[in-house]
Amino acid sequence: MQKNKIKKLNWMVYTGGIITAIIFIIVLIGRFYTPYDPSAMNGQLRLAGPSLAHIMGCDNFGRDIFSRVVEGAGTTLTIAVLVILIGASVGIFIGALTGYFGGVVDEVFMRVCDLITAFPSIMLALIIIAILSPSEKNIIWCLAILFIPSFARVTRSEMVKQKSQNYVKLAKLMGAGSFRIIFVHILPNMVPVLLPTITIGFNNAVLAEASMSFLGVGVSANKPSLGRMLSESQNFLVTGAPWYAISVGLAIVLLILGLSLLGEGLQQWRRNR
């Protein structure tokens, strides 16, 4: 029984990890090399079907869809990585300090978090970006700030649990200062909790960016992004080029599937530890 469970979670972590790793590698290579120039148009290849030369076919301007998907996934992943980098480090930092020290600051901060999370984050992001004008930089900052509360909450509640542990008391008795206790002793003990949170957050960031681009408030129009391409490809779904939407959709599904499996697997691994 126990063994089965561990097998199952290994399966999720491994499969998710491998899918995610392959996508990341392809995207990384794509930063330097794609089979075709993603923005090179070719009138003769308008909406050409998949072939050996163009495995995903061509779009309405005769551009190679595979190259554009790789480029678009790159845009999406870059945004997601930056959002999580900022959101997680700020959120973990704030959550660690408020959880450790408690008091009024903690109280106020948690109410602010409640306020932010009271609204669906994508809707909030849409409104803010619609006001600020859509640009890559605005999207990153906006999503990063909206993602801070989820990291801060998880970190804070784990910190409250950890700070009363005996090993923390012993560190105090050795004369360790608060910052040493928080960052050298407690934070490494929170990795099993933070890892799945970061993975799931990353998943949500990918979805958020894709949804926003799909709805037209994402990155600028001349830059391929998975969400924007999906919205464009809809026009040709029934009229001649279903492979366009299918290719882009498949890329999104694989990315989300890999990340979800990884996040869910890590979460189960933590619970069973």
Partner 1 sequence: MLEVKDLRIKFISRPDKYAVDGVSFEINDGEILGLVGESGSGKSVTAMTISGLLQKSLIEFEGNVLVGGKEMLATDREDIHEMQGTDIAVVFQEPMTALDPVMKVGPQVEEAIRIHYPEISAEERKKMALDAMKQAELYDVENVYEKYPHTLSGGMLQRICIAAAIISKPKLLIADEPTTALDVTTQSHIIALLKKINKEQGTTILFISHNLAVVHALCDKVIVMQRGKIVENGSADEVFNNPKNDYTKNLLASIPSRDKRY
Q: How many CA atoms lie within 13 A of 69 on its CB side?
A: 26
Least distance in Å: CB of 271 to partner 1?
Answer: 17
Check: CB of residue 167 under 8 Å from CB of residue 174: no
Neighbouring residues of 111: CB distance < 8 A, sequence distance ≥ 6: none
Structure tokens at 68: 């554009």
Cβ of residue 102: shortest distance to partner 1, in angstroms?
A: 10
- Cβ proximity to partner 1: between 131 and 173 the closer is 173
Minimum Å gap between C-beta 167 and partner 1 is: 5
**Spatial separation of the C-alpha atoms in residues 190 and 168, rounded to whole Å:** 13
- Which residue type occupies 126? L
Nearer to partner 1, 46 or 180 (CB): 180
Residue of 38, 11, 34, 22 lying closest to 254 (CA atoms): 22
Which one of 120, 177, 216, 240 is in contact with partner 1 (CB under 8 A)?
Answer: 177
Give me the least distance between CB of 171 and partner 1, in Å please: 7
- Which CB atom, from 27 or from 194, has the smaller least distance to partner 1? 194
Is-contact 67 35, C-beta < 8 A? yes
Cβ distance to partner 1 smaller for residue 26 or 176: 176
User: Binding of partner 1 at residue 223 (CB under 8 A)?
Assistant: no
Taking the complex as a whole, how short is the minimal distance between the CB of residue 187 and partner 1, in angstroms? 10
Q: Up-side HSE of residue 255: CA atoms within 13 Å toward CB?
A: 29
Q: What does the alpha-carbon distance between residue 129 and residue 58 come to, in Å, rounded to a whole number?
A: 31
User: Which 145-174 positions form the footprint of partner 1 (CB under 8 A)?
Assistant: 165-167, 169-174
Among 185, 210, 230, 265, binds partner 1 (CB under 8 A): 185
Q: Residues in contact with partner 1, total (CB under 8 A)?
A: 17
Decide whether 162 or 260 has the Cβ nearer to partner 1: 162
Rounded to 10°, the helix 65-101/191-214 angle is 130
Residue choice 32, 52, 175, 222 for contact with partner 1 (CB under 8 A): 175
Under the rule (CB under 8 A), what is the footprint of partner 1? 165-167, 169-177, 180, 185, 188-189, 191
